[in-house]
Amino acid sequence: MKKLVSVSASSFLTLMMLSACSDTGSEEASSDQGEWSPTNNLEFVAPAGAGGGWDTTARMAAQAFEEAGIVDVGIGVINREGGGGAVGWSYIANQAGDPHYLFAASPPLLLIPLNGQSEYSYEDFTPIANVIADFGAFAVRDDAPWQDLNELFEDMQDESSSITVVGESAPGSMDHVQFVNIAKAAGVDPGSITYVSAQDGSAMTNLLNGSVDVYSTGVTETIEQVRAGEVRVLAVTAEERLEGDTVEDYPTAIEQGIDEVFVNWRGFFGPPDMTEAEVEYYVNAFTELNESEEWDAVRERYSWDEYFMVGEEYKQFLEEQNEEMRLLLEELDLYGESE
């Protein structure tokens, strides 16, 4: 005989409320595990000013997504510059749980927190996909006295040298570190290098007007002025010569006897607290982008190498890169210097 349970009206109401909460939780879990697609337009953030590597990567990805018909909603690209990227990262951190925001990133996302200039690190965000590899370039005015990298470094080893290097990244970030890394491999004392940060985008102007001697930047940023005969590239940080008009003439540091490279990977991250379904949507979208003719054309245009990673492979890569950057900054006495 079944035991009868007497339930008061108040108890019954409580049970009904608990049941409703349980159903809601199940629906949310199901939603997390199911498919997701954007319900609003997307915002791609470039944590720097217009014209730089993050800006170009974000804008070209947004354009290729649209041209290839991969994403059904609009994509706006917003520049949030300052702090070597920290201002943009803070903005994305405040969008926690909203998957309609992504930002373009590269080694400064590791370097800036490691040198103590940002409270946010790559671990505070959701890695989506790495898309390309770019490389550093060291440019001088066309009338500069140095014909190759060794001549420049020989002069920099002179204690009376007043050679100044400019970059658009913060001290201890990429433009600075990529130059110091190559110079150190050539025997230059890292502590003797005078580096000027021009985060307002005036680095090329400063080079051309003679305010500085060397411009440490990305390959793409040099092409226009090289074609105009205004500057010369002494070296790139790639392992082999790049393919493409103009850049194919840029010598590598390796072929000049300096056995060192520096890869500027670039990818996309989302805010904290994204669900598996949201991440899966973007992984699929960027995988389709990587395989598209539209993105092939972008890579060729900017002499970018394919460097595609998602999921656990990307996470492991970031962990390894973070450790390498930490060791490099420690060696250069730049680790945590602003803390």
Which domains does the chain show, CATH number per domain?
A: 42-133+264-331 (3.40.190.150), 135-256 (3.40.190.10)
**What is the model's pLDDT at position 178?**
95
What confidence category does residue 84 fall into, taking pLDDT thresholds of 50, 70 and 90? confident
Within 13 A of 113's CA, how many CA atoms are on the CB side?
A: 14
| Whether the predicted pLDDT of 8 surpasses 80 | no
Residue 3 has pLDDT above 80, yes or no: no
Q: Given a cut of 70, is residue 5 above it in pLDDT?
A: no
State yes or no: pLDDT of 126 exceeds 60: yes
Q: What is the pLDDT of residue 337?
A: 53
Q: Is the pLDDT of residue 6 over 80?
A: no
Nearest Cα neighbor of 134 from 51, 219, 204, 60 is 219
What confidence score (pLDDT) does residue 2 get? 30
Q: Could you report how far apart the first and last alpha carbons of the chain are, in Å? A: 73
pTM, 2 dp:
0.81
pLDDT score at 277: 97
Query: Does residue 330 sit in helix, strand or coil?
Result: helix
Residues with Cβ within 8 Å of residue 2, at least 6 apart in sequence: none
Per-residue pLDDT at 157 exceeds 70:
yes
* Residue 77, beta-bridge partner list: 44
Please state, in angstroms and as integers, the Cα–Cα distance from residue 73 to each residue in 37, 54, 126, 310, following that order.
10, 21, 21, 22
What is the mean predicted confidence (pLDDT) over 231-245? 95
pLDDT higher at 158 or 45: 45
pLDDT band (50, 70, 90) for residue 83: confident
Mean pLDDT of 129-153: 97
Q: What is the pLDDT of residue 33?
A: 52
Beta-sheet pairing, 126-141 with 231-236: antiparallel
- Region 51-55: what's the mean pLDDT? 87
